[in-house]
Structure 1
Amino acid sequence: MVFNVLQLLLLLAGTALAGMNKTGTLCTVTPTGGKDDTPDIMAAFKQCGQDGQIELVEGDYTIAKVMDVKNLKNCDISIRGKLTWNDDINYWTKNSIGVDYAQRSTAWRFGGDTFSIRGHGQALFFGNGQKWYDVNKNGSNMAGRPISLTLWEAKNVFIDGITWRQSQFWSTRRHTFVAHSQNVTMTNLDMNATSSSQYNTVNTDGFDSWNSKDIVIKNWVVTCGDDCISVKGNSANIYVKNVTCHRSGAMCIGSMGNGVTETVDDVVFEDITAIDSSNAAWIKTYPGNGHVKNVTFRNINFQNVNQPIYVSPCIYSYSNCDSSRLKISDITWENITGTSRYNVAAGIYCSKAAPCTGLKFSGIDIKPKNGGTAKVLCSNMNSDSGLSCTGTCPSGWKQQLSGNA
């Protein structure tokens, strides 16, 4: 009898230590130890998501369901544990939350006004991405493959101190996706999506913005299989500083203008390092309507980058380039230095229907890593740019080179 009572007491103690507990306006979540922790996390958001605090204490959490967290208000979220999304691909592809952009979806969506998500350098989001990479088999966009974390109709947001490993898609293809949002600051984030098989981590962007403005990104380290930081259509007033990108597309405007009129205004990328990447400071649009205006790439240093500076009005199809009326103007490249993988430092082709104007270059020092002189190819752009073009850029110039030009 004594033994049974002790067992009961231990069971009750274990129950008290796991799950969700609310004290005043504070909701504390403790991992259950292998069971799905999603219901407890969602209960915390329901009870403390407005004028409250939510704390996920240290430990290992299992995430087996999508989480849609809207209408947050005056809420501080603290995450100190490891969150592992299970690898039930069948569930995620059928249930991930649509985000309107290019038929993409997400596993965790946040929305509301005035909230913070702090990881304290302890929070780890593990997406079990390897199974996704292997099932996808280098395919570009797998339906239902979820973005890890999405801000959707969010205002006045602060995110800090979170680490991602093996993300499923872009922030998420992405680690993080910011859409229809304003006044967002994201600092001290670390993202790494690396495949251990023969299949690549296709479409694992670090960050993408869309229909959003007033965003600050600082102190990131990203290793991924696609764009590191990408500013997409209808984004404005974006500031990116002190980011290191490995094996990525580094700093990018686009893609944008695919069948819709889109604009990008007032973007600054500065103090950026790109290592073993495809591009460093570039702009990619579809043949369409809209504009890219007032963008600065400053203090971009790189090693072994395929084609550091690149501009295209006809990305991916590389056709109908001269039909695009999406105007690219007032773009500055300043202090762009490093080594190119091949003998092309820049490939800039602007549409004949909307030539680039106000392009400015200074402090450009790009050397092929295997020696020789780098080529700078330019077409349909202003002649007073300060860039010493060595030749014309052919229409439909590819983003990726496979050897010297």
Structure 2
Amino acid sequence: MTKEGSLCTVTPNGGGKDDAISIMDAFKQCGKNGQIEITEGDFTIAKVMDYLNLENCDISIKGKLTWSTDMNYWKGACMGVTYAQRCTAFRLGGTNFNVRGHGKALFHGNGQTWIDANRNGSNMQGRPINFTLWKAKNVLVDGITWRQSQFWHTFVAHSENITMTNLDMNTTSNSQWNTVNTDGTDTWNTKGVTIKNWVVTCGDDCISMKGNSSDVYVKNVTCYESGAMVIGSLGNPASTPDYVENVVFEDITAIHSSNAAWIKTYPGTGYVRNITFRNINFQDVNQPIYVTPCIYTWQNCDSSRLKISDVTWENITGTSRYNVGAGLYCSRNIPCTGFKFKNIDIKPKNGGSIKYLCSNINSDNGLGCTGTCPAGWKQQLSGNA
């Protein structure tokens, strides 16, 4: 790392030597009222990177950052991010900073190592989120590519006024094990997020709004092999209320995904309100529209006190894998209200008629429900209903 005035420039050590120390040095010396240039070249990241005091800083990344496969190190050093006992390998925070990749930056997590070790499990202890914004305000992240992320690609927590544009994420497996829980991004305790122009291939939620996320706008995202656009999971533990409101997803494409536009909660407390899914197009999606108050356990569905209201699905078109276009079950104790459906055109990919199953929602929703949805209706179908 070299410093000239307020500019810190980091070049790779080469030979597989750790570059994390040099990058951290640049954050410390030029992270306030400065510029950081991570040049083209191959960088090895063998240690956690954590800097939360950025201020009026422009970070330019043009190189390839590859995280090491030393699982013992990462499991011990991975920085906790509170949510569901998860942790991260790289965390930035502060105010008024940009992270620009110029379409050249590549973050490679060596995720196959973690996929194979995880063996289709869900939340392997110490498995790191690749990149986290933490207590960040007024931030732009632009033009970065992710490949083979260790766990979630990105996480945004305790933050405000975040813009993330022109991002490309792809984690796939070349072994018998699946890319479980390799979300594109998740927000939590965050207000004011703009996401535009993403392409994501992952093994779980593409874009997910978790507890206490508000004022979120998502536009022009293409998701492959994923859960696509998600509110949730919320409501766990039930003693801690979760609130999500004022979220718009529009101009979304989902290809061969599990779901397309959906809301998942545990039997908890809080609310979800003022959500819009607009212009969602999909191909070969298992269950495009889905709402549940009892995700994963499918028990105690009617005990939930987490109110879901004022949700609009508009211009939702495409093919479902089976004959269910929507499975909507709301808690009997606190039914869903203000659901609106406009221009819904879902066809089973193998022909036949579509089913829209609804329970405990307002009857003037416009969907044309064809039957009731049983309590504990599962997220994934294995055949026609």
The TM-score with structure 2 as length reference comes to: 0.99
2:172 aligns with: 194
Q: Which runs of 5+ in 1 are unaligned?
A: 1-19
Quote the Cα distance in structure 2 between the aligned partners of 1:279 and 1:374: 16
Quote the Cα distance in structure 2 between the aligned partners of 1:105 and 1:235: 19
**1:138 paired to 2:120:** yes
Q: CA RMSD in A?
A: 0.4
2:93 aligns with: 111
Shift of 1:284: 0.2
Matched letter for residue 123 of structure 2: N
**1:96 paired to 2:74:** no
Quote the Cα distance in structure 2 between the aligned partners of 1:274 and 1:362: 19
1:26 aligns with: 7
1:142-161 Cα distance to aligned partner (Å, 9 max, x none): 00000000000000000000
Shift of 1:215: 0.3
Shift of 1:395: 0.1
Shift of 1:303: 0.1
Shift of 1:99: 0.2
Quote the Cα distance in structure 2 between the aligned partners of 1:322 and 1:117: 45
Shift of 1:388: 0.5
Counterpart mapping for 1:4-403 below 5 A: 20-33=1-14, 34-169=16-151, 174-259=152-237, 260-403=240-383
Shift of 1:305: 0.0
1:12 aligns with: none
- Kindly tell me the number of residue pairs found equivalent between the two proteins: 382
- Percentage of identical aligned residues: 74
1:190-229 Cα distance to aligned partner (Å, 9 max, x none): 0000000000011000010000010000000000000000
SS at 1:401 equivalent: coil
SS at 1:116 equivalent: strand
Quote the Cα distance in structure 1 between the aligned partners of 2:162 and 2:255: 27
SS at 1:160 equivalent: strand
Shift of 1:52: 0.2
SS at 2:234 equivalent: coil
Shift of 1:311: 0.1
SS at 2:33 equivalent: strand
Quote the Cα distance in structure 1 between the aligned partners of 2:268 and 2:64: 43
Shift of 1:317: 0.4
Matched letter for residue 207 of structure 1: T
Matched letter for residue 142 of structure 2: D
Quote the Cα distance in structure 2 between the aligned partners of 1:96 and 1:105: 6
Quote the Cα distance in structure 2 between the aligned partners of 1:370 and 1:251: 24
1:315-354 Cα distance to aligned partner (Å, 9 max, x none): 0000000000100000000000000000000000000111
Quote the Cα distance in structure 2 between the aligned partners of 1:179 and 1:66: 18
Matched letter for residue 361 of structure 1: F
Quote the Cα distance in structure 2 between the aligned partners of 1:38 and 1:279: 38
Shift of 1:183: 0.1
1:16 aligns with: none
Matched letter for residue 330 of structure 1: D
SS at 1:358 equivalent: strand
SS at 2:112 equivalent: helix
Shift of 1:141: 0.7
Quote the Cα distance in structure 2 between the aligned partners of 1:201 and 1:168: 10
Quote the Cα distance in structure 2 between the aligned partners of 1:42 and 1:235: 30
SS at 2:302 equivalent: helix
Quote the Cα distance in structure 1 between the aligned partners of 2:117 and 2:247: 36
Matched letter for residue 211 of structure 2: G
SS at 2:116 equivalent: helix
Deviation above 3 Å: which 4+ runs of structure 1? none
Quote the Cα distance in structure 2 between the aligned partners of 1:130 and 1:229: 22
1:268-303 Cα distance to aligned partner (Å, 9 max, x none): 000000000000000000001100000000000000
SS at 2:337 equivalent: coil
